[in-house]
Amino acid sequence: MKCPECGFEGPKPAFRYLYSLGLDTPFSLRQCPKCGTWLAVNDLKEEVAKTVPPKEPSPIIKTAGIIEDEMKEVAKELMGEDA
């Protein structure tokens, strides 16, 4: 997989897993180990589907609820593109 922001390339596990976009979607939220950008990753294709600009400086301090809300938006967008 390759980070579209900084060009970092590595296997999927190199990108830190943050959150699943839902059981009914193949997408998960991961973080680039080099630049820290959030990436919506298609786990089936093992490719970056979308970069997700964090609305706050550190995603670590976010509650799961806030991330979940954002992920629902992202998932909706991605599934829409796929349809």
Residues near Zn ion (CB under 5 A): 3, 5-6, 8, 32, 34-35, 37
Task: For the CB of residue 73, give the shortest distance to Zn ion in the complex, in Å.
Answer: 22
Closer residue to Zn ion (CB): 11 or 80: 11
In angstroms, give the least distance from the CB of 33 to Zn ion.
8
How far apart are the C-alpha atoms of 48 and 45, rounded to whole Å?
Answer: 9
We find the least distance from the C-beta atom of residue 36 to Zn ion, in angstroms, to be 7
Q: Measure Cα distances from 79 to 22, 47, 52 in Å.
A: 11, 15, 15
